[in-house]
Structure formats: C-alpha cells, structure tokens
Amino acid sequence: MLRRAITLFLLPVVALCLATSTGDSAPAPHRAGSQHGMVVSASALASAIGRDVLKAGGNAVDAAVATGFALAVTYPVAGNIGGGGFMVIRMPDGRTTTIDFREIAPRAARPDMFTDSTGAYSARIHHGSLKSVGVPGTVAGFSMANKKYGKTIWSKLVDPAVQLASNGFDIPAGLARSLSGARKNLGTYPASVAAYYKNGEPYAAGEKLKLPDLARTLTRIRDKGRDGFYLGETAQLLAAEMKRGGGLITKEDLKGYEARERAAVHGTYRGYDIISMPPPSSGGVAMIEMLNILEGFDLAAEQHNSPKYVHLVAEAMRRAFLDRARYLGDPDFSRPPIEKLTSKTYASGLRKTILPDRATPSAPAQVVEAHESTETTHFSVVDENGMAVSVTYTLEAGYGVGAVVPGAGFLLNNEMGDFNGKPGVTDTTGLIGTDANLAGPGKRMLSSMTPSIITKDGTLVAVVGSPGGRTIINTVLQVVLNVIDFHMSIEDAVKAPRFHHQWLPDVISVERNGLPAATVSALEAMGYHVKFGSSQGTAHSIAIDPKTGAKIGAADPRDADAGAAGY
C-alpha cells in the first residue's frame, strides 16, 4: 500500500518531465526526468557538467565533484573552492558514509578573537574581516571523496571547471542580478572588482564572464590534486593575502588541513529511513529530533500549513533548536549527546510538553541562537546504479567575506562567523557564548547544513537538502514532511510555501504570501508572533519512482539559474 502511494505521487511528475536533455551543451531545466542519472543544482551549467560525467560512465560521487567545481565558477555567491561543507553518500548496496570538509579555525584562533581592543564583541571582526576566514575544506573533501568512492580520473572532473573559467560563460539572469547587488560589498577588495566586474561596473545578463586567475588555480588543482590548492603557488597567494589583510591563515594551516569521514546519523519516520549529516553539522541531529517529536501526531489528518499543523511543527522546531544551541559543536572537541537527542524516548518526553492550542514561550535565559548566513548552496546526484550523493557547501555569507585572493581568483569564506562571538556572552541580540561552539585552533564551527537521503525498505526514495543558514534544517524538514505525510510529488514538495522557527527570536518567519490571513490570525491567537519575509532556501532535490526507477529532478524555482539535468 505504501509503495503504491509513493508511485502515485511520483507518476504525474514522471509523465510530465521524463523527456531528457539532448546533447552535452543542452540547458538544464528546473525539472527533468531520466531512467539513468540525475543532477540538480543551483546552476544549470553545473548540473549539465555533472550529467555529462554520469553519461561518460562516472558514478554519483564523480558527478558531485565535477558539479561542485563547476559551481565554483558559475555560482560564486556560494559555490566555492575557498569554503567548505558536507557530503552524504549512500552506496547502491545501502551502505552510507559522510565526508566532513567543513572549514577549520587557524592555529592562531582563540575564543576571544572576535573582540576589539576594549574587550567588547565586534561583529565586524567576527563576520567582516579576514580574521573571519576559516581554512578552506572543499578541495580536500572532494579529493577524499574521489579517491575513496569515485571511479573517474580526478583531472577529468576538474577540467570542465577549468574550461568554464578560462573560456568564459554567458552570465545568466540570476547571477547578473546577484553581482549587481553585491557591488558595494565586493568593492572593498580590488581583486574582487577586477574578477567580477567590467571596468568596475556590473555585467549584464548574457555577457561573457571569463575568470583567468581562477582558471589557473583550477588548473593547478586539476594537475596536482589537493596539493595544487594546499601547497605551492595557491597556498602562497592565500597566505600572502591573509598577512596583508590581518587574517590568521598560514601556509602551515593550509598544509595541515584534513577532511574527515564520519558515520552518518540515522533516524526513522513513519517507516522511512532518514540518513543525514552528523556534527559538526547540527542539521541531521536536529531534523531527526523534530521528526521523532512529530511522529506522535497525525499530521496527515491536518490540512497542509493549517494553524494546527504549523503549531505542531513550529513547537518541534523550537525544542530542537534549543537543544542545538545547548549541546552541539565539533565532535573532535566535545561530546555531543547524539544518541540521546535522536532517540524516540527523548522525543516522547518533549512531545508531552507541547500544549495543544498554545505557543510555548521562549526565554532568553535558556539560550539565544547565533548568527548564521543564508548564502549556501545544495546539490543532489543519483547515478544509474542507485548511488546517491547529497552535498551542501558554502562560503557563509553571500560571496563569503567578499575578498578574491589576488592572483588566485577564488573567493574567501567568512565561516569563522559561525563560531560563538564571545565566551560567556549570551543576549537577546543573537550572541551566544556557550562552550561547545567557541573558536579554537583546528576546530570546526557548528553548521546547520542538512544534506540528507530518504530510503524505504532498503530502496532509495529521495535526495534532499537546501541552503539557508539556520533555516536549512526546517526547509529540509518540510520537504520530508511534504513527501511522506502529504504524498506530494518532489516538485510540489520543493515548491510548497515554507516557514521557520528557531527558538529565539520567538517568531515564526513565513515566506511572503506563504500562509493565508486566517491561519496567521489563528496562530497569533495561540500566542505566536508571525513575520513575513523573503523566500526560504532552495531545496534542489531528486526523487525515485519505485516502480520504474526513474529519477525525477526538481530544481527549486526560488533559484532562477538552477537546473535539473538527466540522461
């Protein structure tokens, strides 16, 4: 019965979009279907490159690596070689693993490093200076994934990005708007202006952008592997920019960076298996905690996004975000109670604290959440044999700290901003000073990234994830609920309006026009503060038709340049 239900909600999408793209240069639409392989990302150009790797015999890890490098060229707002992130892998035989390539703090980092000369916390130092740059992890993470689980020669995965950067590409409309809006921030750094603007002015959509310095860096990575980034000329250029601008990263920090392979976190929800990222990402643990709480309610009996539905989901979000701030950090430096937080028993206790018709107040004395930028990107890959890869990676803020490394052409992250700002200082402005996520040498900062994979009875169901800072966890949660409880097609599950609650501030944030006025009024009567805002996340996802095996790619329509590419 359940398998039949899955088939019914996927078949309309299969019928609508089973036609595949033709030719290696064909554009990637926002939705696509394929019997073989599928890639969905924030850039149609990057998705097409990943698809071509699959067509040439590469597996899902190979396609993910190629897509990730291509995004460093075509999606500079978050695609990167100067940042880091997470990869969740499920093998065709059901085995799972993850690659943690989160940035780490330089050796000179210390807990009070984001304070000024008077000892006061400084948001500028924390988020807007070169001290906010963590040691990048993307190249090391992709290298580890390729060596351990890929089957295609490294150079063939990096070369498409080299060619894109060297030969240039036509700027799509979304990127043109993004770069125009970022002109003021990027203008602080001459190398950024030289790389991404024409005579200091924004490019128009359709104009060709060439990135020769980035092409040379990618060439070194292509020819020398991870050493092409962490040693030699690239490392020298990065370290020189750090010294010039007061940053902390040295050549020794770069040489010493290592990605880590970690066991995935697993949960279950109404008979489905949820596979996600463990700490230092909080995403998998928090989402599984929420699902465990919600499993005790009959959500399917409620209208989607009705007042009661929003109330129950928001209360689950509220409790998981409180635990996130209390307990989670880099597992190499602390011992987050993952088993407890993901247990059904613990969730049962939390469920009993939810009032049926009233919001639970959030108290600043319990904890206040820290800053985390919304500018991340996610991509999903499934190959012909059923290997699935879910990747979320980031520069932190849009275009990171805004600095392109002179002569190297890539943007630097400002991920150190995800560490807590000052020891012991927790207040209503958004600062949190608990020990688990304070900066320290070699430490990975806490993240909300939630790359995830859903299976049922050993069969792949979907690959999901999203950018969006702290909203990531709740975006992915709602895609999962849409698929499992409301039997939506993956396209509808991704398109559906979303909302967010993160304990503090004590507000439900809703996408513009995301809830009807009657629902908002009912929520306010329960004691909620409702705020409408911009779009929440871009959940580029893939679902599998269990009957035909077709891969259905759904690029989130909130992302103008995104694309799904299959063959």
Contact status, residue 114 vs residue 432, Cβ threshold 8 Å: no
What residues contact residue 464 under an 8 Å CB cut-off, 6+ apart? 380, 390, 452, 453, 454, 476, 479, 480, 539, 541
Cα distance between residue 259 and residue 428, in whole Å: 35
User: Is 376 tagged catalytic?
Assistant: yes
For residue 29, whether the previous peptide bond is cis, meaning omega lies within 30 degrees of 0, is: no
Is the torsion defined by CA of 54, 484, 539, 11 positive or negative?
A: positive
Checking phi first, is residue 493 left (phi over 0); if not, alpha (psi -120 to 50) or beta? alpha
Nearest-5° Cα angle at 211, 208 to 214: 155
CA atoms within 13 Å, Cβ hemisphere of 83 = 34
Closest Cα partner for 80 from 117, 52, 42?
42
3-state secondary structure of 288: helix
Q: Give the largest Cα separation in the chain, rounded.
A: 66
3-state secondary structure of 22: coil
Cα distance between residue 194 and residue 66, in whole Å: 26
Closest Cα partner for 268 from 351, 348, 342?
342
DSSP 374-428: S-EEEEEEE-TT--EEEEEEE-SSTTTTSPBPTTT--BPP-GGGGS-SSTT---T
Cα distance between residue 269 and residue 279, in whole Å: 20
Measured in degrees and rounded to the nearest 5, phi and psi for residue 209 equal -110, 125
Single-letter amino acid code for the residue at 520: V
Q: How many CB atoms within 10 Å of residue 298?
A: 9
Q: Is 5 exposed, middle or buried (0-12, 13-18, 19+ CB in 10 A)?
A: exposed
Place of tokens 């991404």: 196
Cα distance between residue 500 and residue 372, in whole Å: 14
Q: Which of 98, 376, 450, 519 is catalytic?
A: 376
Contact status, residue 527 vs residue 533, Cβ threshold 8 Å: no
For residue 280, whether the previous peptide bond is cis, meaning omega lies within 30 degrees of 0, is: yes
Point out the residues that are catalytic.
376
